[in-house]
Structure 1
Amino acid sequence: IRTLSVLRGGSSSATGDHQYLPISLPDTFKERTEDVHVALLSVLHASRVTRHLQPIGSSDIQTLSKKDASPVTVGDFASQAVALHTIHNTFANSDMYIAEEGSDALRNDEELLEKVWGAVNHVHTGDLNSEEELLKAIDYGQGIGEEDQSLVTKRRVWVLDPIDGTKGFLRGREFGGQYCIALALIEDGEPVVSVLGCPNLPLPSTESTKAIPYGAWSENEVKNDAATGSSNGLFSSSRGCLFVAVRGGGSYEIPLHILEKYLLEQSPLESASANLPWKRLHVTANDGTAKAKHEATFCLGVERGFSDPKGTVLKIAQVIHGPDALIVDEDGIKDIKNSIRMDGQGKYGLLARGDAEYFLRLPKDGYIDWIWDVAAGYLCLKEAGGKMS
C-alpha cells in the first residue's frame, strides 16, 4: 500500500495554498498516483452532491429534455461542475475534458441555476466561489480552450458522465434507483484510469443485494437514514460503492463512506496511519469452478424496450440457461429468471466483483453510445479479468 498526499477540497496545485491529506492506495497504482487521487476526489465530490439530490422515493425533481429525449437534472449539472472543477484545478493546462452537459440551459434559466448553485454549496467542500465559476466549470467539458473558445486537442482527455443512469436516479434511492458518476482518463485513445462512483449501490453481501427490485432499501435502512442523515457523512456502512481501475494495475472497490471519512473528515495524521480497505476485484472464473454456466447471472438495464427491444437477450439466456431460463413477472412480461436489473455503468462494477456474469445491451436501431457511456466501465471490467465486445 502506498501513501499518497491527496488535495483536500479543490484548491489549485498551482497556487501553493492547498492542504494535503495523506491516504493509502494500492501498490499497483504507483505509476498513476496523481491521476488516481484527483479522479477519486473528483468522483467523491460528485457522488456526495448527487446523493444529496437524489429523490427519496419518487421522481419529484425538475428535469429537462435533451435532443435525444433523455432527461437531465439539477444533479447532472451539479455533478459535472464539482467533478470537472476538481480535475481542472490540477490539470488546467495539460489536459482536455469531454462531458455530457453544457451550461446553456442554466444561463437561460435563473431559477434552475440557483437550484444547482444551492445544491453544490450544501455539500461541496471545494472552492467554487460564484455562479459564474460554476458555469465555467461545467463548460470545461465542452472540449474548448479557455481563451479563444476553440476546440482543443490533447493526448490526455478526461471523459465524464456526471450521472450515468439518470432514469435510475429519478426512480429514487429507497426504491433502489441506481446511477453512477463515470469518469475515465484516456491517453492516446486508450483508457488508463477509470472511476465509477455508485452512491446508491449496496455493498457486497448486504441485505439489499437480494432485494427486488435490486438495491431497494429495507425498512430498517429507511429509519436509520432518517435518523442519521446529514451533509457531513452522506454514505452509510451498507450502501455506496466506488470502483477504480488503472491500466495494468487492476480493478479495486472501496466503500464510499470510508473514502468520504478519510478524504474529507479525518485529520491528516489519522488518515496517514490508516490502511484503507481496498478490495481487489476479479470476475467470476469462466471454468465452472465458481459457478456453473446455467447458474450465471445476467445484469441488465431496467428499460427493457431500450436495452433489448427485439427480445434477443431473452433468446440468448435460453441458449445459456436452457428452457427454464425465463419467468413471467407480475405484469405478465417475460424476464430472465436469474437476472439483476439496474441502470447505469454500475453494472460493470457488479460484473467486476463477481455479483453477475453477463451484461448484454442491444439497443434500438440508430442509438449512439458516446465515449462517456462506456469508457470508465470498460476499464473497470477489463482490469478485473472481464471481456467486452
Structure 2
Amino acid sequence: MDPSSTPYSKELQIACLAVQRASRLTKRVLDAVDKGALDKSDSSPVTIADFASQALIIAAIHRVFPHDDIVGEEDSKALRRDANLLKRTWELVSSTHLDDEESEKLLYSPCSKEEMLDLIDLGAQGTCSANNRSWVLDPVDGTATFIQGQQYAVCLALVENGRQKLAVLGCPNLNLETGRIHEDIVDREGGGQQIFAVAGHGAFMRPMGTHGLLDARKIDRKPQITEIKDLDFVDCAATTSSDIGMHSRLAAHLGAPWPHSTDLWSAQLRYIAIAVGGCNTLLKIPRKASYRSNIWDHAGGMLIAEETGCTISDLAGNPVDCGQGRTLAGCYGMIVAPASIHGKLLQGVKEIL
C-alpha cells in the first residue's frame, strides 16, 4: 500500500518532512559535540536540540494546520532568560533546511527569534481533550542517551478526540544491522530511520536523508504468539518511574524469559524495538501509585505498536485514553504485547498486584 493514499495523506506528508528536518537538526548538534564545538558535559547541547527541534516542528505544523492544538514538552522560559542560549538556538533553527527545494517549500521556518519563542510556547500551552484535534510532540525523547550519541527519537503524533490517528518517529541513530536495537550500535554514516503509521492502515519505515522523503516499506505485523516462553521484553534497568523489580517478579510468576533482552532509555524507542527490533512485550508497573506518564512519551509510539499487531492497555486492562490533557491521566501503568497473549500478561499482573 502506498502510504500517500491513506487517510490523512496531507498531514502525513507534512509530519514526515517536519520530523526529517528536525532529525537532521539534532544530528547537526551531535556533530558539533563530536567535533568538540560543544561540550558534552554541558547540558546546553541537549537544551539547544530540544528547543530548536520543537520550534521547527511546530512552525511546519502550525502554518498548514493553524486551528489544531499542539502539545509540546518545552517552553521558552530558559531561552528568554539566557541571551547566549537564545542566540545559539536561533542560529541552529535559522540554518537548518532540507536540501530538496520542493520539500522545503512545504515547510515553514520562523522568521525571527521572537517568532521562534512564540512557536515553542504554542507547544507549552497545548492540551489534548476528548473533543479536539491535537499534535503531540517530543522534540528529543531520550535526552540522556542523545548527548552520549546513543539512541533517541524525534516524535510527532496526531490525536483526534483522544484517539491516535497518525504517528511519525524519527530515529536518527537507529541501526538494525543485528536485528536488535542497541544503545551503542548506531547509524554513523546515514540519517537513521523514520517509522510512521496511520490508524487502521499499518506501519511503515524509511531511511532518512537530507533531501526529500525516500521510499517506505510496510512493516510486517508481529507473530501472534500464545506461549509464555516466547515473550521477549524490552525495558530500562535505569528507569526511575517503573518498578523493574516487579517486572522481574511478573516474569518469574509467569515463567517468562528474564532479564529483558533489550534495554533502552528512550520510552518511545521501546515501542520501536517492538515494531522492528525483535522484541514483542513492554511492561510498565509504576513505582508510585500516583505516577502518570506524560503524553509525549507515548503518543505515536503506541500507535506504531498497535499497527504492528499489539494490544495496549493499562494494568487494569482498560484502553489508553489520549484525551485527558498533557498526561495519560486515566492510565495507571501499561501492558504492550501481541494481542494473542496480552490477556495472559494482564491476568499475571492482576495476580501479583
TM-score of the pair, normalised by structure 2: 0.75
- Alignment check: 8 A CA contact 1:38 1:86 kept: yes
Match of residue 380, structure 1, among 288, 304, 328:
304
Corresponding residue SS for 2:156 = strand
Match of residue 169, structure 1, among 143, 146, 151:
146
- Alignment check: 8 A CA contact 1:26 1:278 kept: no
- Aligned-partner Cα distance in 2 for 1:379–1:50: 24
After superposition, the Cα gap between the structure-2 partners of 1:132 and 1:164, relative to the gap in structure 1 and judged at 3 Å, is same
Q: Could you report, residue by residue, the CA deviation over 1:147-202 in whole angstroms, capped at 9, with x for unpaired residues?
A: xxxx9997211111111111121222xxxx11111111111121111111111111
Match of 2:264 in 1: 341
Q: 1:87-166 maps to which residues of 2 (within 5 A)? A: 87-92=61-66, 94-125=67-98, 126-143=108-125, 155-166=132-143
Q: Could you report, residue by residue, the CA deviation over 1:7-64 in whole angstroms, capped at 9, with x for unpaired residues?
A: xxxxxxxxxxxxxxxxxx354x2x2111111111111111111121134499716437
What number of residue pairs does the alignment pair up?
A: 299
After superposition, the Cα gap between the structure-2 partners of 1:310 and 1:57, relative to the gap in structure 1 and judged at 3 Å, is farther
Q: Could you report, residue by residue, the CA deviation over 1:301-337 in whole angstroms, capped at 9, with x for unpaired residues?
A: 2524x25445111223334555xx45xxxxxxxxx16
- Aligned-partner Cα distance in 2 for 1:50–1:81: 12
Match of 1:189 in 2: 162
After superposition, the Cα gap between the structure-2 partners of 1:342 and 1:310, relative to the gap in structure 1 and judged at 3 Å, is closer
Specify the code of the residue in structure 2 equivalent to 1:35. E
- Alignment check: 8 A CA contact 2:233 2:282 kept: yes
The answer to whether structure 1 residue 79 and structure 2 residue 59 are counterparts is no
The answer to whether structure 1 residue 313 and structure 2 residue 251 are counterparts is no
- Alignment check: 8 A CA contact 2:46 2:146 kept: no
- Alignment check: 8 A CA contact 1:195 1:376 kept: yes
- What percent of counterpart residues are identical? 31
The answer to whether structure 1 residue 371 and structure 2 residue 289 are counterparts is no
Give the CA deviation at 1:296: 3.8
- Alignment check: 8 A CA contact 2:154 2:170 kept: yes
Specify the code of the residue in structure 1 equivalent to 2:11. D
Give the CA deviation at 1:354: 5.5
Give the unaligned 5+ runs of structure 2: 99-107, 314-353
Match of residue 40, structure 2, among 57, 60, 63:
60
Match of 2:185 in 1: 216
- Alignment check: 8 A CA contact 1:84 1:138 kept: yes
After superposition, the Cα gap between the structure-2 partners of 1:38 and 1:180, relative to the gap in structure 1 and judged at 3 Å, is same
Specify the code of the residue in structure 2 equivalent to 1:131. K
Give the CA deviation at 1:114: 1.1
Match of 1:256 in 2: 208
After superposition, the Cα gap between the structure-2 partners of 1:154 and 1:314, relative to the gap in structure 1 and judged at 3 Å, is closer
Give the CA deviation at 1:352: 1.6
TM-score of the pair, normalised by structure 1: 0.68
After superposition, the Cα gap between the structure-2 partners of 1:339 and 1:320, relative to the gap in structure 1 and judged at 3 Å, is farther
- Aligned-partner Cα distance in 2 for 1:340–1:105: 32
Corresponding residue SS for 1:195 = strand
The answer to whether structure 1 residue 281 and structure 2 residue 204 are counterparts is no
Match of 1:353 in 2: 276
Larger Rg: 1
Q: 1:37-56 maps to which residues of 2 (within 5 A)? A: 37-54=13-30, 55-56=33-34
- Aligned-partner Cα distance in 1 for 2:63–2:238: 37
- Aligned-partner Cα distance in 2 for 1:196–1:360: 21
- Aligned-partner Cα distance in 2 for 1:357–1:281: 14
Specify the code of the residue in structure 2 equivalent to 1:240. G
- Aligned-partner Cα distance in 1 for 2:135–2:160: 9
- Aligned-partner Cα distance in 2 for 1:383–1:167: 28
For the aligned residue pairs, the C-alpha RMSD in angstroms reads 3.1
Match of 2:238 in 1: 303
Specify the code of the residue in structure 1 equivalent to 2:132. R
